[in-house]
Amino acid sequence: MPTDAPEADGTLAWDSTTMVVVEVAAGDATVIGWPPWRLLELPLTRLLGATHESVPVYGSGGFTTYHDTRLAAQLNHWVQGQHIPRVKIKIGESWGREVARDLHRVRAARQVIGPGTELYVDANGAYTRQQAVRIGGALAEHGVGWFEEPVSSDDLTGCASSGTRCCATSRRASTATTCRTSPG
Ligand SMILES: [Mg+2]
């Protein structure tokens, strides 16, 4: 389905996305089509059992294609409108060639959400190792609590190195630096 506007992270751009519908098989019945479940209108967590009463969530978006006004509107919707205390934005625009704009957007995001909301960033592997270390220090100054995929998730040595070196710059950034093996 088409997105409402062009979207991009550090390495990819797109104008359509996919809706995923999951069907869960329960015995010889399929949960989504199982009449008792539908009649009872039970959430799957009650039908199948839950291990936690609640889980923390965060608003994820803040695409690099967004201008400041759109970014502010999205963040305000999550933080003020939905009372979500954590948000994540994309950085690493154009494979790390727009660092000044990345940091501008981080500053803008912090101004919008205030000091009491957790701010996370995701570079989707767009930076070099050297950039990741340098930017990790700058992110810490803005209270960024999570730096996702600073370098390619295929570069495990680079991920570890970025974390260690960010540690010398900022303990907060180092504990938050991570690499994930799947995009998101
Ligand atoms: Mg990600």
Structural domains of the chain in order of their starting residue, each with its CATH number: 56-178 (3.20.20.120)
How close is the Cα of 46 to the center of ligand 1, in Å?
Answer: 29
How close is the Cα of 63 to the center of ligand 1, in Å?
Answer: 12
How close is the Cα of 34 to the center of ligand 1, in Å?
Answer: 34
pTM: 0.77
* Each residue's pLDDT expressed in tens, for the chain with a length of 184 residues: 898 889 999 999 999 988 777 666 666 555 555 555 566 777 777 778 888 888 899 999 999 999 999 999 999 999 999 999 999 999 999 999 999 999 999 999 999 999 999 999 999 999 999 999 999 989 989 999 999 999 998 888 888 777 655 544 433 443 344 444 333 4
| Spatial CB neighbours of 84, under 8 Å, sequence gap ≥ 6 | 57, 58, 59, 78
| Spatial CB neighbours of 152, under 8 Å, sequence gap ≥ 6 | 125, 158
